[in-house]
Amino acid sequence: ASIASMDMGLLLRDDVFVDFFNTFLNLPVFGQTPIYISGMGRWYLWPELPSHLDPSPAALLAWLEKHRLPHFCKSSLCLHLVLCQKLLGFIRSGEAAELLNWQSADQWLLERCISGSHGMQHFRAFVQGTAGEELIDFWLITERLLDLDESDGSQRDLFLSLLHRLRATHLREGSSVITLCTTIVGSLPKAKHIQSISTRREILSKMQEQALFMIQSYWLPKFFMHCKMGMEEEESCQPLLQEYQERLSQASWQEPPGLSEPFPTMHIKRSQGVSGPYCSPKAKAEIWALVKEGRDTQEVKMATFPVKPERQPGPVGSTEELCLDKDALGSIPQQSEHSASTAFGGKQGVTFPGRPQSSAEQDLENLCKEKIFSDLLPSASLAQLPSLKKPVETLDFLPWALSAEACAGRPFRGFLQCQNRSVETHLLDLWHDLEEFLPVVLDSSRENSFFLRHLIGEKICKTYLEEDSIEKLPLETRTLVSLWNHLTCGEFSPWIFRAQKEICKLLCCLYEEFLADDDRTFLQFMAPESDVPMPKVPGHVAGRWEHFHLSQRMNQSLKLSQALHGTRSLEGISSKHWQLLAARDLQKGGSIQAEMKLLL
């Protein structure tokens, strides 16, 4: 709420906010996907506006404040920004210096390690599988819950859903949260049956404070030691460590001159030679075609090989590093690929075992292959980029956009509600609930996996699949019945993929309307007095390298957002984390640009 009420110009003076906001802005659900380089004060628009226009930074900020910031404030990225700011506030405090005997150099290095969306992803990967993971998850859910108004009918369903999730996981007896906060809540049954809203909020708020203090005072110092040890082993981190040693050697370190200079004048990079009209759906189709054809080429090459349960990353500097990263295109998390394949009966191939397949089973197998191949297969290197000759339909990559929508504060859902599309909104909610269920049921190593898969499965059955609700869903009867048979027991089912595909077909045209509306709104702010047509064909055709760069930027944004949102399993700590830390500069594009530095 405090972020939503702030002036956009002031927000953009905070490099940490800019990093999270850039990650959000580049999620591939939106039409216009700009990026801000704070060190230069420069905005890069994509798609670019026609070159005869002179866009105003003030107009861009007004558009961002009205049509992007409200969605950002509903996203998990914003929750991680708030947590990151609280951790940074503790790191910089005199309390931390006194409690942990940190010097200014220690504080500087830890800030570098944890700042931005990549920093928070690294921190969460470090605490994965520990009590720290549960404390962070509890803090994030509680932060969202306490920001909701239970008496507001439009927020009540989400409030109750979050409350049920807390009770099923972090407020159950024996959890790390209850163990830590016993002195606050007393016994669990009393806490669960408190009826007073103010008392319940007060208890949750105090528990959240206690969890945050444990994260700050215990897990942050452990993360700091982990970072120093990891950086010592990574050659690319040596300049950072050298600067750290220099700061340590000087008791009263002074920031070098230049860091306190005035902020650069904000401006928008003028487009070069873009004479045609503005049309983000067609510009997106070019990116989608590149990724799709790159994937299809590899699928043909590898069709005769068995599906591997895991894909091992190539060595640093190998040709696999210079490739289109399509991990974000599938909704099955990378660590769950083996679970997904074995769920269909095969250890190495995705097949149903031991009996003839009906046409329905064959269709389901193909759907599963699509999901798994999109995560497993390496894509074309830059030298093998396709020629983009084949047209691509919006339906081909609507799952990609919907996966991003879950991480972006649900802007498409807001559009459907404004259009009074209640049935389509209901379908979209089902798509997202199924998407949330998949990583939980396929990755048993997740914290509270058993409780969550039954909680989410029961929620889906009650909300969408009971007799009074099922008539509202224009999906095939066998799909709905099969979903009920498996989800009521908290089991994985390949019919999830069938249901999602049917939903995408029903929502495809409305998503195109959503993109067109996003374009119209953007042009109303950026070119209010100009007649900017929105035709079927864009006037500017980007080069292959530009397409590659944009696809990487959006993929990196989606991977980061999914990992923090929980729809993608966090990757284990590897040398890549340290390389990204060394490459990351919050004033030069931050987290989503660091990946491109490694590729280059």
The pLDDT tens digits of the residues spanning 410-460 come to 999 999 999 999 999 999 999 999 999 998 888 777 777 788 889 999 999
Q: Quick check: 107 and 148 in contact, CB under 8 A?
A: no
Distance from the Cα of residue 290 to its chain's centroid? 22
Q: How confident is the model at residue 364 (pLDDT cuts 50, 70, 90)?
A: low
| Those residues with Cβ within 8 angstroms of residue 471's Cβ, 6 or more apart along the chain or in another chain | none
Q: In the predicted model, what is the mean pLDDT of residues 4-25?
A: 94
Pick the closest to residue 366 from 279, 437, 294, 303 (CA basis).
303
pLDDT of residue 263: 81
Higher pLDDT: 259 or 205? It is 205
Q: Which residues pair with 36 in a beta bridge?
A: 43
391: pLDDT strictly greater than 70 = no
Structural domain contains residue 410: no
Window from 46-50, 81-85, 410-414 with minimum mean pLDDT: 46-50
Among 95-99, 271-275, 302-306, 313-317, which range has the highest average pLDDT?
A: 95-99
Position 334 in a domain: no
Structure-token pair, residue 417: 């509600």
Q: How many domains are there within the chain?
A: 1
Least-confidence region, from 98-112, 162-176, 187-201: 187-201
Q: How far is CA 497 from each of CA 354, 361, 435, 444, 472, rounded to the nearest angstrom?
A: 22, 12, 9, 20, 20
Assigned domain for 374 exists: no
Question: What is the length of the chain?
Answer: 600
pLDDT higher at 338 or 480: 480
Mean pLDDT of 539-548: 64
Distances (CA, A) of 589 to 42, 55, 84, 262, 552: 10, 21, 18, 19, 13
> Domain limits at 156?
3-182+201-244+266-277+539-598
Residue 85 — φ and ψ, nearest 5°?
-65, -40
pLDDT score of 328 more than 60: no
* Weakest-pLDDT range from 9-13, 127-131, 199-203, 206-210: 199-203
Q: Does residue 578 surpass a pLDDT of 50?
A: yes
- Say if 273 falls within a structural domain: yes
Residues 345, 352: Cα–Cα separation, whole Å? 5
What pLDDT score was predicted for residue 363?
58
C-alpha 590/C-alpha 25 separation (Å) is 13
Residue 27 pLDDT exceeds 90: yes
In sign, the C-alpha dihedral spanning 84, 85, 87, 88 is positive
How confident is the model at residue 341, as a pLDDT?
A: 36
- In the predicted model, what is the mean pLDDT of residues 393-402? 86
> CA 473, CA 59: separation in Å to the nearest integer?
41
Query: In this structure, is residue 74 part of a structural domain?
Result: yes
pLDDT of residue 318: 33
Written as one string, the DSSP assignment of 47-79 is: SPPPTT----HHHHHHHHHHHTHHHHTTSHHHH
Sheet holding 42-44, edge to edge: 35-37, 42-44, 267-268
What's the rounded Cα separation, in Å, for the pair 417 and 469? 18
Domain annotation covers residue 292: no
| Continuous segment of H or E residues that includes residue 267 | strand 267-268
pLDDT tier at 270, thresholds 50, 70, 90: confident
Q: 10 Å Cβ neighbour count for 572?
A: 11
In a domain, 450, yes or no: no
Residue 226 within any structural domain of the chain = yes
Residue that is written with structure tokens 């790390």 in the block: 176
